[in-house]
Amino acid sequence: MKLYFASGNDHKRKEMSRLLGGYELVIPKDEGIDFDPEETGTSYIENAVIKAEALYSIVHAPVLADDSGLSVDALGGGPGIHSARYGEENGKKLSDEGRYRLLLRNMEGIENRKAHFVSALCLILSPDRRYIIQETCDGSIALAPSGTSGFGYDPVFFIDEAGMISAELPGGEKDRYSHRGKAARLMKMLLDKEVGR
Which positions are annotated as active-site residues?
67
Distance, in Å, from the CA atom of 88 to the CA atom of 86, rounded to the nearest integer, reads 7
Cβ-contact 77, 147 below 8 angstroms: no
Sign for the CA dihedral angle at 23, 28, 30, 33 comes to positive
- Rounded-to-5 percentages of helix, strand, coil across the chain: 40, 25, 30
Q: What are the backbone dihedrals phi and psi of residue 66, each rounded to the nearest 5 degrees, phi first?
A: -125, 135
User: Distance of CA 137 to CAs 71, 122, 161, 194, Å?
Assistant: 10, 18, 9, 27
Spatial contact of 86 and 152, defined as CB atoms under 8 Å apart: no
Q: What is the C-alpha separation between 125 and 64, in angstroms, rounded?
A: 9
Contact 62, 124 (CB under 8 A): yes
